[in-house]
Amino acid sequence: MRTLKCMPSRHTSDVAIPDVAELDLFVIMDALSGPARRSIVLALAERDGVPCGQFGLSIAKSTAARHFRVLLEAGLIRQWDDGNIKRNGLRRDEIEHRFPGLLDLVLREARTTR
């Protein structure tokens, strides 16, 4: 498990990001159960490197930070600093390696239920 600094808030905290072998199907499915988190994953499936503030979420910043944290802890996304911007990306290759076809299935279903 890798520990990374992340979160789009004033107080940066450590979040343990699971390695590929540690990805847990049930944790991933739980993370995808929320519509806000699914919309984040859908946006990242279409475009990599989206800054935290550009997802069009109509929720409080603290709530958005919680959603990003859940996705990070599940291993669905990664975050990196780009100057003073926090960017996000989908861990598509890692998820596909651990659970072949899962992400395509989830994305296809999520697009039909938007």
CA distance 5 to 14: 5
Which whole-number Å values give the CA distances from 111 to 22, 34, 86, in the listed order? 27, 14, 26
The residue type of 34 is G
State the pLDDT at residue 113.
82
- Considering the four listed CATH numbers 3.40.350.10, 1.10.3720.10, 1.10.260.40, 1.10.10.10, the one that applies to the domain covering 2-10+24-112 is 1.10.10.10
Domain ranges, ordered by start, for the chain = 2-10+24-112
Helices and strands of the chain, counted as H and E runs: 5, 5
The separation between CA 26 and the C-alpha centre of its own chain, rounded to angstroms, equals: 15
Positions in the chain short of pLDDT 50: 3-12
pTM to 2 decimal places: 0.86
Average pLDDT of the chain is 89
State the pLDDT at residue 67.
96
Kindly report the number of other CB atoms within 10 A of residue 57's CB atom.
17
